[in-house]
Amino acid sequence: MNRTVYVAALHEKGHFMQETFETISFAQELDKGKIVLLVLADEESVTTLSRQLFLETGLDTIGLKGNFLKGYSAEAYIKTLSSFFRDKEPACVCIPHTSQGADFAPQLSVALQACCITAVEAVGNGAFTRTMFGGKFKVEIRPTKQASVLTVLPGTWNPCSHGNIVQGELTITDVPDESVSTRTHGIRESSHKNAALSDSEVVVSAGRGVGKQENIRILRDLCSLFPKSALGSTRAVCDLGWLDYTHQIGVTGNKVSPRLYIACGISGAAQHVAGMKDSRLIIAVNTDIDASIFRVAHYGVVEDLARFIPLLIEAYIKRNRE
């Protein structure tokens, strides 16, 4: 029986995403046996891409070539992979938990009659660990089906190291033409990009815990203490209309890595943390001692920010006067 672990090697504009290499590391940790990397692409790029991945990893690589695979669509990916797996019994299909991977993984799991576990952060004893409730709980989930489709949380595993010894082989396979009804019209660049935010040395950032729009002013005041500073926020704050989306930090917003990041009333959901975890010094102010932001913060203050931040500003002014 073929109990291979497969990795969907996601790529964009002719390059593999960092998350693809992280997902390969994850597959290696599963230690279930043979690993096969799958590259889905059109005739023009499939050979170059597959060869590149094969040379970098030394692992078995299969390029799946189809002319309807120019650019990404969930429908094209699912049709290709379903037909590829028709005569196989994969143990796991590992997919990066990106906007593409998370898009097609659940649908693929139905086609493969597999279970689907998303945003996996750890493995052990046949179970996969992910967080729930905004990071407050760790949950170990054990599949009760033969095959599993797993999406791997970005930034959790180190990218796989270059394979010095070539163990595998490289194959390119034609995918029979499928009728794909999804039409893709390309990518529209983000209007949320904010150079002032990504260039700042200090970012003061607001979460839902700010409580009300008026309290944003307190954070602006704090911000103004620092030269080269900017105001950031979680997506929730933008959704509430308290700040516009150019302030948003996280997976679907801006990525920042300032010298100082002050997280105010931010719970610390993975989607936000992904956009700020590389900050050099992280300070979190939150009333909830269990908030997961305290797991990434270097220093934590358990206080109501509406009370604490004005005190901090006052102490700062007093200190400067002395």
Q: Where in 12-51 is the site for other proteins (CB under 8 A)?
A: none
Residue whose pair of structure tokens reads 């043979």 in the numeric block: 34
* Nearest-approach distance from CB 2 to other proteins, in angstroms: 21
Q: How far is the CB of 61 from other proteins (least distance, A)?
A: 25
Give the count of residues interacting with other proteins (CB under 8 A).
Answer: 98
Q: Which stretch binds other proteins (CB under 8 A): 35-43, 62-70, 163-171, 284-292?
A: 284-292
Q: 152: which strand partners?
A: 96, 120
When binding is defined by CB under 8 A, the residue of 165, 191, 217, 321 that contacts other proteins is 191
Contacts of 180 (CB under 8 A, 6+ apart): 68, 73, 75, 76, 79
Give start and end residues of each alpha helix (H) in 65-120: 74-85, 101-111
Question: Smallest distance, Å, CB 201 to other proteins?
Answer: 8
CB of 175 to other proteins, least distance (A): 19
Q: Show contacts with other proteins in window 122-161 (CB under 8 A).
A: 125, 127, 130-145
Tokens of 278: 């590389």
Interaction of residue 85 with other proteins, rule CB under 8 A: no
Stretch 230-259 residues interacting with other proteins (CB under 8 A)? 235-236, 238-239, 241, 245, 248, 251-255, 259
Whichever of 65 and 79 has its CB closer to other proteins, that residue is: 79
- Measured CA to CA, the distance from residue 160 to residue 140 in angstroms comes to 24
DSSP 3-state of 22: helix
- Placement of tokens 């989306």 in the chain: 245
Residue owning tokens 């956009």: 275
For residues 116 and 149, is the Cβ–Cβ distance under 8 A? yes
